[in-house]
A and B are shown apart, each in its own frame.
Chain A
Amino acid sequence: MTQHLNEDDLYRTSSQYRLWSFSPESLATLRRKTHELAITRASQYAPKSKSSLWQDGTAVDCLNAEECLRLVQRYLDQVRTTSDHFKWPVPVKATAAQYLARFYLSNSPLTYPPKEIYKTVLFLACKTEATHMTLSEYARRISTPADEVLAPEYKVMQALRFTLDVRQPYRGLKGVLMELLNLAEGRVGEVECVETGGAKALQAEMLALEVPARTAQTMWSAKAAGKIESKDVMDRINAAYSAARTILDGPALLTDAYFLFTPSQILLAALHLADEPLTSFYLRTKLPLDSDLRPKILTTIAACAELLASFSGSHILSKDERAALEQKLEGCRDPSTRDLVGSHAVAKRGGDGGEEAEEKARKKKAAREKHLKEGDDLFGPSLNGKG
């Protein structure tokens, strides 16, 4: 094996990196374009008298870009809670949320209201993550006709650009948890490329760690009195893990984190918010202090932590706010995509026949030409003297 691929190299070959990673600027540009396109599209259906209003994109009765974004976020939350309600494994939840977010990079809620799309996206994620639930059962449990779940499926696949893999931070976080627990038990001595002073020294260093700040998200706090022991460190690690896990289940899925950062950056940022001194210690066992990459990596993690911390549950639309936005949406949505079930059926029927008919016609034509040609060869030029 002449070529050694490290995990970074592998990640860079993923569709998540190739197609679904953005700078904040390019993400904003893409969303702006999509929104403008939707407004233009909608304006074609507007009556003449009102077209001026629609054309400049400032139609009073249409959702603006910010409102569209918040509506999508509301449904990201819906995806999360529905998946939890079904007790599906975590990857289904994260995959579905990301499918929904990706769908709305190239589509606008004005064209496809999230209320319809989120159900399809959840079912698709359930399939790609090998969680088996039949369509009929799923449809029954979300009280939606089965054909409404399936109708937008191709549209969703297209918007996902036929990439279905979503790289997630959960397993990585579990790995960090196991590593930290091993370190705390003094079972890790040598760390590749980093001077550690051995297992005992690492263990001692963990016992002496600064306590997490008051603002940290971990539930753990140092005992009021007495020396910190190995058992306390274990508690601290477990508490940090569950706090980080809560962040992965919430803010990480409801912000642009997956578009802007890698899974490992996200999990380290979550851990950083949970227990900063512990995370710094962990990073010291991974990244030599004199590494050129160190400042860059730390800055990136800090930026991701800032994004995750900036989110609060109150950002999510309330039921009433959502209802108000959806009513407004009813007034300006694209009528061509209103009957997805109908157009899905037409596409399947009409298209199929069309293609077969095309093929038949082509074969007929070829046969006719062949016939003509052979006729020429066998019997000479035709008699009507044209040739």
Chain B
Amino acid sequence: MATSPALDVPPEPPSKRRKTSQDPPSRNESPDIGTVPSSLPAVADLAEQLDDLERKKYVKGQKLGSGQYADVFSAHLVSDPSKLVAIKKIKVGPEVKEFGISYDSLREIRFLQELDHPNIIKLHAVFSTKNQNLNLVLEHLPQGDLLKLIQDTASITYTAADIKAWMLMLMRATHFCHAHGILHRDIKPNNLLLAADGSVKLADFGLARAMADPFQHMTYNTITIWYRPPELFFQAQHYGGAVDVWSCGCVFAELISREVLFRAWPETEINMVKLICEKVGTPMEENWPGVSKLRGYVTPTDIVPLKPKEQWFAAFRAVGEVGVDLLIKMLTLDPRERLTAEGVLRHEYWTSDPRPSKLRDLPRKGGGEKAMGQDLTQRGGELPRGDTGRADRVARKIDFGAGR
């Protein structure tokens, strides 16, 4: 049989078919693929029906932020207006022609779908609209991010106990990712969002990847430059969770001193290596066996010995000797010697005094809802906008005396 007479029927555009569907009963849980309500017309396939159901669960509200990569809207559940969410609508950029759906979006969707943890931003659902835009329904995090808190030296003070609480939440999130075989690869304060209850939520999985098998090549050109570990500057082709632990160490130091630890300016790789050598010590065979064999291994000619513990302590005394010990172990040059995320969580810092602050006692207001909009529209690996003046603000406003 050559052609079916059915071909003469003009095709009905998919969008038109969709409009005929009745409003589905609102459900909070994503329905099972096998139990699609039969009230929908039979023409839409099962996946289309489910997508439709998901889309109709939310009412889109105010735009919270707009970036090159995505727009973020505030939204709520149709069934319960008090249940807020954020909808991240991914923009179709010019690279679509060469790649289709972008790597960033695919990575973010892939990994957030697998991670359900109190300190990782929750992806409630994904749906597409008729113009084929991807919409990510994310947890609503109205208190901004840690960067805004760190930078707001004028009105925000926080304690060593607060730092411990934030770091604990960050490390739990990081360990959870690693236990799932996922590397985040972009941990930095503005990717640490704050929930209404004050808890930290690791966000932006646009640069994440699954841990690779031995010998499989991985890119070294990842992680926002100030938070990138030395092995990546030396072009290591294979790495694991240690890269994220270094970034966490940078966040730890930044929380304490309220300045970026390795703030190379201009932000070049050479300047970064120089800074790491100055502040930690020059990576060499003695402190990092095998380092000289890495393809991109270059260090300044003036060799700086590993910084002694006392100097670290002088700079970061606010977290105590135990805290500084942990910081040193997170910022160890040799990634094999650096603590793993689990190792960090087993460190005595967490169980020594002071106890981490309770959630309700933590400072909030890291820029509010709009800050979330801004954070979520940023592309992975970018430095936060309007950040260039930070070095001028060196005021230290940590209230460590206020013991709680």
Contact = CB atoms under 8 A, between A and B. Distances in A.
B101 A30 contact: no
Contacts of B62: none
B42 interface: yes
A154 B128 contact: yes
Nearest to B7: A335
Contact of B6 (A42, A106, A127, A174): A42
Interface in B42-58: 42-43, 45-48, 50-51
Interface in B100-137: 100-101, 103, 106-107, 109-111, 113-114, 116, 125-134
Interface of A: 1, 5, 10, 13-15, 19, 26, 29-30, 33-34, 37-38, 40-42, 44-47, 50, 61, 89, 91, 105-108, 111, 123-124, 127-130, 134-136, 146, 149-150, 153-154, 157-159, 161-165, 170-171, 174, 328, 330-333, 335-339, 343-344, 346-348, 350-352, 354-355
B106 to A, nearest CB: 5
Contacts of B48: 158
B4 interface: yes
Given A150-B100, A339-B11, A351 B6 contact: no
Contacts of A34: 45-46
B9 interface: yes
18 contacts: A13-B114, A15-B114, A30-B34, A33-B46, A45-B4, A50-B5, A61-B1, A91-B210, A128-B107, A153-B100, A154-B128, A158-B48, A162-B109, A171-B213, A330-B2, A335-B7, A338-B11, A348-B92
Contacts of B210: 91, 129-130
A320 to B, nearest CB: 17
A205 B3 CA distance: 67
Interface in B191-217: 209-210, 212-213, 216
A128 to B, nearest CB: 5
Interface stretch (B12-20, B243-251, B295-303): B12-20
Contact of A164 (B1, B3, B106, B132): B106
A120 B110 CA distance: 17
Given A29-B34, A135-B98, A157-B101, A351 B129 contact: yes
Nearest to B89: A355
A37 B126 contact: no
Nearest to B43: A41
Given A124-B101, A350-B131, 20 more contacts: A1-B172, A42-B6, A50-B5, A61-B1, A105-B33, A106-B45, A107-B46, A127-B101, A135-B98, A158-B51, A165-B110, A165-B113, A330-B2, A331-B4, A332-B6, A335-B7, A348-B131, A351-B132, A355-B129, A355-B131
B206 to A, nearest CB: 13
B275 interface: no
Given A47-B5, A154-B132, A348-B131, A134 B98 contact: yes
B246 to A, nearest CB: 21
Contacts of A106: 33, 45-47
B395 interface: no
Contact of A347 (B6, B15, B126, B180): B15
Contacts of A338: 7, 11
B315 interface: no
Interface residues of B, number: 59
Nearest to B52: A158
A50 B113 CA distance: 45
A114 B316 CA distance: 61
Given A154-B132, A163-B113, A10 B4 contact: no
A170 B214 CA distance: 13
Contact of B110 (A45, A164, A328, A355): A164
B131 A351 contact: yes
Given A29-B34, A127-B106, A157-B101, A344 B3 contact: no
Contacts of B133: 351
B345 interface: yes
A128 B109 CA distance: 10
A37 B45 contact: yes
A65 B402 CA distance: 72
Contacts of B132: 154, 344, 347-348, 351
A61 to B, nearest CB: 5
A37 B106 CA distance: 29
B141 to A, nearest CB: 21
Interface in B325-346: 345
Contacts of B391: none
A157 B6 contact: no
A89 B84 CA distance: 41
Contacts of A123: 100
A13 B122 CA distance: 13
Chain A to chain B: the 7 pairs with minimum beta-carbon distance, closest first? A351-B131, A162-B126, A45-B6, A336-B11, A164-B110, A106-B46, A159-B47
B31 to A, nearest CB: 10
A355 B218 CA distance: 40
B13 A331 contact: no
B42 A335 contact: no
A350 B18 CA distance: 15
A62 B193 CA distance: 54
B78 interface: no
Contacts of B394: none
A337 B48 CA distance: 14
Nearest to B114: A165
A51 B166 CA distance: 66
A158 B106 CA distance: 13
